[in-house]
Amino acid sequence: MSQRKKTVKKQGALRRAGKRGLRRAARCNRDYLAWRHLTRNQKEVAQRIWKGDYQKIGPGGGWGFLDRFVVFMKTIGFLECLDVAGVGYVRRMITIAKLLLTYQVKILLGIESMNQVPGLLFNDVGLLMMLGYTAEQVENGHCRRGKGKNTRPMNKNTLADALDKFSPEELEGILNGGVKLLAKLGFIRDTTFLMDATDLPTTEKCKGAGRRTVDKEKWSRKEKRTVTISETTFGFKLMLLRSLDSRIIVAAKVRPIQESEKDWTLALVRQAAKNIGEGKIKLLLIDRGYLDGLTLWVLKHNYGIDWIIPLRADMHITKDARGLRNTVDAKKIFREQREDLKVVGIAGLVSYDQYGDEEHQKKYRNGMDFKANAANTVMVTRWKKEAYEPGHEPVFLTSLAVSRPLNILDKYDLRSLIENQTNRELKQGRLISKIPKKTENAVTAHAILTLCMYNLTNAYRTEQGQNLAESGIRRFRRETARQTRDKIVVFTEEHYGIFDLEEFAFLLGRPSKWFSRHIDAEAFKEEHGIT
């Protein structure tokens, strides 16, 4: 056999061994070193040393420590959430967790496009080392895709292409896993939650993108009249359920842009309950797009969740509420005012025919034995020195009592936080609309990973988050010192192992004279799978 064939055969065997090691590592608990996102695998590394195929050795102490934020992610266990299977992801030269973490750092740094990644991320050697890339990987790259320094540690397209390999379910699993960790640690103590949706527009060339056409009236200078124009938008819709005070997104869904939010309300609520615990959500402040009678009934009567939501102007219940603007009824109509704000609470309106359970919906459609359910409304008649004209008042529907209508309006006013804080920050600060690749999976991956970073940074900024980061640093220092005292660390591409000098010398085939007095050679070989 020629030397070239022997080399190819050896490389193939090593690749197979590496894949077996990855599968074994996926089945066991991760034991990340404080400063490297490599998995500890004594057996795998021992076999590689025995074959003379290891990458680097280093002393056991004196290493640098992670940035506080990455230490925080490590401390709460979020890095393990990144270790997903990756449907369709075959080439595993770079671990999936490292790829996803690298992309999240790209988001954290506010890098707008993949073309900027080589200059702004891959040129930062210290940062790459912190993320777990070795000096060899930084210098020579993981693969031979492309040429030149812009392919180190990988080609920018490798990072973008990787996002296309994950299913929406896998990415949502990462977000949900992170939320569960934050809830378990006490970061989410809210009882009031906000619901909203925001568009993620793309071009029509984006694979899997939805299409929404809306007729809008515009003034035509040419025709000197109002004309109707159809506007078409391609892309996706990001639906969010966020806690009020902690600002954590507890559930999210990315869907084609033409789909209605109301079809996903209960799915978001159910996922949130799984993430933070049953019965934690007491009040939902909901955007008008989620308005649906069956859904609102289920929220109140099946889940015990109260809600406030604005009504559309063309609804019967809205018109009925406006018609009662000047009516005096001490039992059902309640009026309050404050400075330049005047509101009217109206209890027990029965003109929202769709408000009811599934049996109610059937009776409504068939028109047989139908009886409407009562619902409460709050109407605004004056705001900021301007009185609304009759027939133009904003009206809100709620399951709460409306004897103090100002309280209802004050509560709903908080829903604007998800628009002003979350949606604006996601688009302007987190660049959630700057998609890396024109495919549905890539858009979903980019959006969900952005939400993960949004959640983690909000948790990190709290006093509890800062304390966890500090305690994590102290613990890592203690663990690193304990693990590596009087030992050396041996690195392969994706694993590390910690051995004392006698064990290392034995694996090199040069055991010390008194090796057998300290370690049973045969037992050591059997334990590490060495033949």
Q: Using CA atoms, how far apart are residues 172 and 251, in angstroms rounded to an integer?
A: 8
Contact 270, 299 (CB under 8 A): no
Checking if the pLDDT of 515 tops 60, the result is no
Checking if the pLDDT of 122 tops 70, the result is yes
Which of 491, 384, 403 minimizes the C-alpha distance to 59?
491
Q: Using CA atoms, how far apart are residues 272 and 269, in angstroms rounded to an integer?
A: 5
Q: Is the pTM of this model over 0.85?
A: no
- pLDDT tens digits, residue range 426-472? 988 888 998 888 999 999 999 999 999 999 999 998 999 888 887 77
Integer distance in angstroms from the first to the last C-alpha of the chain? 23
- Residue 500: the pLDDT is 77
What's the token pair of residue 355?
């408000």
Domain ranges within the chain, ordered by starting residue: 188-287+419-461, 302-414
Per-residue DSSP letter, 458: H
Q: Using CA atoms, how far apart are residues 518 and 530, in angstroms rounded to an integer?
A: 19
- Residue 126: the pLDDT is 64
- pLDDT tens digits, residue range 43-102? 888 888 888 877 666 554 433 334 678 778 888 989 888 877 665 554 444 577 788 888
Q: What is the mean pLDDT of the chain?
A: 82
Contact 232, 212 (CB under 8 A): yes
Q: Using CA atoms, how far apart are residues 284 and 261, in angstroms rounded to an integer?
A: 14
Q: Using CA atoms, how far apart are residues 441 and 213, in angstroms rounded to an integer?
A: 23
Q: Using CA atoms, how far apart are residues 336 and 507, in angstroms rounded to an integer?
A: 82
Unique residue bearing structure tokens 């996926």: 26
Q: Using CA atoms, how far apart are residues 425 and 415, in angstroms rounded to an integer?
A: 15
Q: Which residue has the higher pLDDT, 506 or 266?
A: 266
DSSP 404-441: SHHHHHHHHHTTHHIIIIIIHIIIIIS-TT--SSSBHH
Task: Look at residue 15 and give its three-state secondary structure.
Answer: helix
Q: Using CA atoms, how far apart are residues 51 and 18, in angstroms rounded to an integer?
A: 13
Which of 85, 156, 173 minimizes the C-alpha distance to 437?
156
Per-residue DSSP letter, 371: -
Checking if the pLDDT of 335 tops 90, the result is yes
Q: Centre a 10 Å sphere on the Cβ of residue 346 and count the other Cβ atoms it contains.
A: 24
- pLDDT tens digits, residue range 392-417? 999 999 999 999 999 999 999 999 99
What's the token pair of residue 193?
């939650």
Q: Using CA atoms, how far apart are residues 403 and 348, in angstroms rounded to an integer?
A: 12
Q: Using CA atoms, how far apart are residues 408 and 32, in angstroms rounded to an integer?
A: 49
